Chains A and B, each alone.
Chain A
Amino acid sequence: MFTDSREEDVATKEIQLNVDGNNHVITADPEMPLLYALRDDLGLRNPRFGCGLAQCGACTVHIDGQAVRSCVTPVDSVGVGKVVTLAGLGGGNGKAHKIQTAFIEEQVPQCGYCLNGWLMTAAAFLEANPNPNDGEIRDALSGLKCRCGTHYSIMRAVKRAARA
């Protein structure tokens, strides 16, 4: 026989969040990852759970323009940071960011479950490096997962966005 156990204390608090330009107050365990605040408290559907371990990117959002993996970001650590999700990346109201336009034009996704990682990371990367070469794009996106294997389309789309 063997036994698994872990002890934890649970206390909730009020936390303010600014997401896609809107202010929200939620009551939650401060240690709860931002991902669950976005999905469950705010009812947003696009950041997704892929691993919960910062290994895949499916949960990626921007905080103050930086690509961040929300599955390992305690909600209380966001503070006054401005959170942007995939749905808000183009500025809201269904407007597309140029990386989204490029992914649509190149018809990149298969299942598309991975897209938050690639799009949010590539958008932040192109902001910092508007004219990347292939090697720089690959390095910037290294570590993101796409199980369907759309990597080759992704390369085309990021290059297209860089040209746009």
Chain B
Amino acid sequence: MTINVNRRTVLGAFGALTISVVLPGHKARAAVLGAATQPPLKPENLSSYIQVNADGTVVAFWGKMDMGQGTDLGVAQMVAEELDLPIFKVFVQQGNTATSINQGGASGSTGIQQGGTALQSAAAEARYQLVDMASKQLGVPIPDLKVDDGVISSLADPAKSVTYAELIGGRFFDTQLEWNQKIGNSLFVKGRGTIKPVADHKVIGSSPMRRDVPWKVMGSGDYVVDIKVPGMLHARVIRPEVAGAVPVEVDATSVKDIPDVQIVREKGFLAIVAPREWDAIRAADQLKVTWSDSTPNFPTQAGIFDHLRNAKSVHREPGEDVGDVDAAFAGAAKVVEATYDWPFQSHASMGPACAVVEINGDRATLWTGSQKPHFSAAGVAAILDMPSENVHGIWVPGPGSYGRNDAGDAAADAALIAKLTGKPIRVQGMRKDGTRWDPKGPASIHTARAALDKDNNVLAWHFESKGFSRVDVNSNESATRDTLAGQLIDTPLKPGVGFGVPEESYGFPAKRKAWETVAPLLDRASPLRTTHLRDPVGPQIHFASESFMDEVAYAIGVDPLEFRLKYITDPRDIAVVKAATEKAGWQARTAARRQSAGDGKFKGQGMSYAQRSGTRVAVVCEVEIESKTGRIWARKFTVAHDCGMIVNPRQLTHTIEGNIVQAISRSVHEEVQFDDKNVTSVDWETYPILDITETPETIDVVLIDHKELPPSGAGEPSMRPVAAAIANAIFDATGVRIRQAPFTPDKLKAAGLA
């Protein structure tokens, strides 16, 4: 097979976007429909979401982003479905502030759940409008028309027909939608058109090929790192070896041997620019800087969890009790209690972030890999003192994104350097900028207690989390206080507070789920500032809550699956738990089995389950542990996943597989190291992630399709139950209960592995 592809041909259909002349269809129009020029990009305008090109293809403008899970393809499928078009005729344009309303960017696994359903609703209205136009043009009442592949024809006389292209191709819908007045994730629009009954679905539920895969595999398209602008200079931001230090003296003579280098400095911010990238890198390395003294208030690495236990809470969210929790504990025959710890983790995206900013008078353009380009453009505007509508944000695929990573900081860096130099600026970090200096997933401690009666029934469950905030810096970079550059030019900080609670349906008679957060470490430009990292706080919370369910089960001599099935109340939760355990061949037990896998290895099986914003996931994990070294191999994963209606089964499966691998990595390897001066995880040696030699040999995915339910998210839910399933399997294999992640050989030994 020979595949000849480049990105231009795939995007070719977008060429029509710029055509404003009306191309005649092969039949004359009865009336000129739609608008000749595009109505303004406003949330209530149908044209802001759906456009029919002159050739009859359709572009859907999406204000969310695909980070490589094929979410944009899923959205294209939803739009194609409502417009009765084959998938190859529908394209999604994403991540451009000039062509998309801000639907929140990639956020909270809502790409399909909220962003897709909004576009689906807009597409249903577009179809309604098109059929209405056809009815008038053909003189056939609406109920007597059918739509097929973009052709609207009379049921009675198929020769009476008109195509979408003939009706409005190359022109613009000029009607309005009912808009719920929200911008971001929860934006929704609705017209008179209603979405199709599920029974009629042809495109939803199929697995067409992604459009971005060929150019990525062939090396023929642009990532954000490939963007070049005439006159552009390469920049590197220079950050201190001791966190919190700011430059006091900069010795320009130390880089005078490198051509055309310029030093850029404003308050605590220091960068170097050069026309050639290699020169900027060398100069950054060579520049002699005297830094201020700084003594960051970091606890020791080993003392981080004690720090959390002892730190004053800055905010507490007590949650709403179910039943009388205190009375249940007061009257309990037995109390089971355990605490769990989760470290800081890094996004450690595949490459350090990059951004390009070009200023033109009172306007600017940003090219970014940030998953929230609308917010990123607003952040650039704030640095440049421009109204946000003056900054055109363009997303270009970046080196991976799993939340608020260093991409947000790179955009602000590029903006500040462009402002200070007056030149178009491309900034990219070095490896340590992506690992040491990215905003971190918060470290946390969790306490779980269960009150039992004399017959071992659970009377109450009490779950507490205490951690760094998930929004010490916000989950988007629209405010200068939330970026390193902004903080270094003295923007007053305002750390947010946020954490979370387990999502489950255990029907214990009494429940309390609460959380509290502590103050950030180092009040500005901290390498340990915390924010959203894929499934924000989900992995840590469910590591604790679902490890604890096993602990309670074993404490009362009940099989962990039987225990869960006794208490879980939600039928869809029960269904995923049963599906995963049946597929995996669950082996009931009431104590750790310590089975030999030969060669001095033990093997075990563990499970866990969680909900996330409507989605349910249950996982079963089989591990092997070398008893001598404590090395773990999560050999097999079985995942049962219910996210309502499935749009694209293959992409859903791949998304789940990717979550499982990344979650295993975070469970067994990942912990940001630091000392009293700075984060010392600076590269892949000091921040290891899962190697292909450690990847499961089997990941079995069971998809449960609820066509009658709206789709919920899939980008993150399967991340959250993984750590507990591994910990529970480790217990089955060894009898050792690991309550601190990551499950490294050292921690396993500390937990008692002999």
Contacts and interface: CB of A to CB of B under 8 A. Distances in A.
A70 interface: no
A149 B716 CA distance: 13
Interface stretch (B219-227, B373-381, B450-458, B723-731): B219-227
A142 B287 CA distance: 36
A94 B350 contact: no
Interface in A95-152: 95-96, 100-101, 103-104, 107-116, 119, 134, 138-139, 141-152
A3 B217 contact: no
Contact of A48 (B5, B277, B278, B351): B351
A155 to B, nearest CB: 7
B693 A142 contact: yes
B3 A115 contact: no
Contacts of B70: 107
B219 A45 contact: yes
A83 B383 CA distance: 42
A48 B217 contact: no
B265 interface: no
Contact of A150 (B221, B658, B693): B658
A35 to B, nearest CB: 9
B234 to A, nearest CB: 8
Given A101-B3, A113-B399, A142-B692, A119 B289 contact: no
Interface in A2-37: 2-10, 28-29, 32-33, 36
Contacts of B69: 110
Contact of A87 (B220, B222, B690): B220
Contact of A153 (B277, B286, B397, B657): B657
Contacts of B691: 142-143
Given A94-B6, A100-B3, A100-B217, A148 B289 contact: no
Given A107-B210, A111-B67, A152 B695 contact: yes
A162 interface: no
Given A96-B218, A146-B350, A148-B68, A104 B225 contact: no
Nearest to A117: B350
Interface string A69-92: 000000000000000011101100
A132 to B, nearest CB: 13
B683 interface: yes
B3 A110 contact: no
B278 to A, nearest CB: 4
Nearest to B288: A5
Contacts of A33: 278
B399 A52 contact: no
A42 interface: no
Interface residues of B, number: 82
A149 B683 contact: no
B288 A154 contact: no
A142 B53 CA distance: 47
Nearest to B212: A112
A75 to B, nearest CB: 9
B209 interface: yes
Contacts of A153: 654, 657
Contacts of B68: 109-112, 148
Given A5-B286, A96-B3, A55 B685 contact: yes
A7 B253 CA distance: 11
B254 interface: yes
B586 interface: no
B488 interface: no
B654 A10 contact: no
Interface stretch (B290-298, B307-315, B417-425): B290-298
Contacts of A36: 276-278
14 contacts: A1-B248, A1-B290, A10-B258, A49-B351, A94-B4, A95-B4, A101-B3, A104-B214, A111-B397, A111-B399, A113-B350, A113-B400, A147-B399, A149-B690
Q: Across chains A and B, which 7 residue pairs bring their CB atoms closest together, nearest first?
A: A110-B68, A149-B661, A46-B219, A112-B216, A86-B219, A5-B288, A45-B226
